[in-house]
Structure 1
Amino acid sequence: MSAAPAPQLPIGLVVNPASALGRGRRVAQRVRRALDALGVPSVVIAAASAAECQEAVRSAVAAGLRALILVGGDGLVGTVLQVDAARELPIGIVPAGSGNDFARQFRLSRDPDRAVARILAAEVRPREVDLGVVETPGGERWFAGGLSVGFDAAINRRANAIRLPLGPLRYQIALVTELLRLQPRHFTVSWPGAHRPFRGLLATTMNIRTLGGGIPIAPRAEVDDGRFDLVLVDECSRLRVFSVLGHLVRGRHERLPEVAIVRTAVVRIEAGDEVAYADGERVGTGPFEVRLEAGALRLLA
């Protein structure tokens, strides 16, 4: 008599049930039905806070999982990436957040059935994707999308305070509000072979092309080239700021004299008491020591 086949490990389905006023929970239900229909076992990992989510993920991974599917936005991706054991598993994403910039890089479908089909097909050959790590006096944080310091971080903070389910419109409202109180910042940015003090608007380290729900701040960034796109924007007059930002939101800012985009795998950013954000979540104050970890994520995409 032949031995029975070994039971298949389940996929962990990670969801923030409060995401986008319940959208994450509703999408997760559809994702689970899609997995059930294909005979793929799954376990739901749901928690309202980041700390609870990380602990639940640790426990589920220890119990045995073959992969994770994250149902949410950039914040959920960033939350799960802080769990060492989670980064050892292949990870799929079903975008259900407000910005979804990391998912946008791969043109991931918001339709649960299509998303599940693509994730399962990618299990045979996950895509190796770079991740970022930022070290501050307060500790270390992994990120998938970008580290914002300056004007874009201020927009992120204000957008996070808007609780209405407005999607990318939250960032547009926050951008206009921050423009009215715009002040240049002092930065000192260093990377191999360069040391640059300057007054400006931002010093942002990007692994992907967009932030803020689709703003193409690093229009040529790739997730598997072993380098960040470091975006620096110098101080300019308030009138000129409108022109610079107008070019930036359309991804046409690369040749502007106020803008520099540098490709590097490591960077140090000093910005006084400026608060940085990574993947849409608060990191804290610097200095910020940023490094790229090539191929650190096996993405099911």
Structure 2
Amino acid sequence: MRDDAPYGVVVNPSSALGRGARVARVVLASFQAAGVDAVEITGVDAADCQARVRAACKRGLRGIVLVGGDGLIGLVLQVAEARALPIGVVPAGSGNDFARQFGLPRSPAAAVARLLGSEGAPLSVDLGVVERPGHDPHWFAGGLSIGLDAAINRRANAIRLPLGPLRYHLALLAELAVLKSRRFVVQIGAREHSFMGILATVMNTRAIGGGIPLAPSASVHDGMLDLVEVSHGSKLRVLSVLGLLARAKHEHLPEVTITRVPAVKIEAGDELAFSDGELVGSGPFEVRVAPGALTLLA
């Protein structure tokens, strides 16, 4: 970390339908008030934003501050030069599940003060990596969703209203109306099993979808990922399971299996996966943990 270099403040101007741009102004003013140089980095689309982040890293940055939600985190994690720097997060998205894992403040000024105060003792945080045939490795901070939660994510992304986590709740109700089981083939080491179910999701953090505690015991410091499998049930039973899940009381249900793994392979036909709120694509998926891959200012 170069103390004489500026922080790169990466902004998703469309985050939470404009909240990111508003928060970014406060963040930049907070850095100025603290006597710390900071430069804004944004782009017209995802690829442009990544290119600008990469170029700024090569010019020299003290660290990176992400002003947005889980999607912006996932976007920047694909840039190797960014992963090599300390990263701070100012939550300004719809779900903010990664920020919630660390109790990061929603106040931009408080978030800047916290990240500057942590420079001397940043956190070493695990990340997840998913590999698919013919594609570059994809890094994620929160989880890789396959099945019902991915379908909910896709539907929630299509809701263009400033509803925050309520988008995910509305999308859940819509997906329950067309609920279907999928066939999953899961391989952990030399062991393989298959099941008919509604999801097989790999979690690094505890929550997805704006605070739904899918893996309530997950840790980002243990060098492991939490594989969450939910088997088939009637719509009424699924509603019951989801109700308990929302209160983190689902771990011991017969339909639910949570396994701590360093790596797992999942095949799910043509099911699409999402990570950190954004589309990854179809499998098969080889997922592994990258212990301590992120230096987090928190």
From 97, 101, 108, give the equivalent of 2:104: 108
| Aligned counterpart, 2:85 | 89
| Aligned counterpart, 2:256 | 259
| Aligned counterpart, 1:185 | 182
When Rg is computed on C-alpha atoms for both structures, the one with the higher figure is 1
| Aligned counterpart, 2:288 | 291
CA contact (8 A) 1:17 1:48 kept: no
CA contact (8 A) 2:3 2:62 kept: no
| Aligned counterpart, 1:272 | 269
| Aligned counterpart, 1:195 | 192
RMSD across aligned positions (CA): 1.0
- What amino acid is aligned across from residue 196 of structure 1 in structure 2? H
From 228, 236, 243, give the equivalent of 2:225: 228
Question: Are 2:21 and 1:25 equivalent residues in the alignment?
Answer: yes
What is the CA-CA distance between 1:264 and the residue it aligns to?
0.3
What is the CA-CA distance between 1:86 and the residue it aligns to?
0.2
What is the CA–CA distance in structure 1 between the aligned matches of 2:42 and 2:141, rounded to whole Å? 21
Deviations for 1:80-121, whole angstroms, at most 9, x for unmatched residues?
Answer: 000000000000000000000000000000101110111001
Unaligned runs of 5+ in 1: 1-5
TM-score, normalised relative to structure 1: 0.97
Seen in structure 2, the aligned counterparts of structure 1 residues 53 and 300 have a Cα distance that, compared at 3 Å, is same
1:107-126 matches, cutoff 5 A: 107-126=103-122
Deviations for 1:222-260, whole angstroms, at most 9, x for unmatched residues?
Answer: 001000010000111222111111111111100000000
| Aligned counterpart, 2:216 | 219
Question: Are 2:73 and 1:77 equivalent residues in the alignment?
Answer: yes
What is the CA-CA distance between 1:46 and the residue it aligns to?
1.1
What is the CA-CA distance between 1:7 and the residue it aligns to?
7.7
| Aligned counterpart, 2:164 | 167
CA contact (8 A) 1:138 1:284 kept: no
CA contact (8 A) 2:195 2:231 kept: yes
Identity level (%)? 62
TM-score, normalised relative to structure 2: 0.98
| Aligned counterpart, 1:3 | none
Question: Are 2:62 and 1:66 equivalent residues in the alignment?
Answer: yes
Aligned residues: 296
Q: Secondary structure at the match of 1:273?
A: coil
Deviations for 1:181-236, whole angstroms, at most 9, x for unmatched residues?
Answer: 00000000111242110000100000000000000000000001000010000111
Q: Which runs of 4+ in 1 moved over 2 A?
A: none
CA contact (8 A) 1:147 1:204 kept: yes
From 5, 8, 15, give the equivalent of 1:9: 5
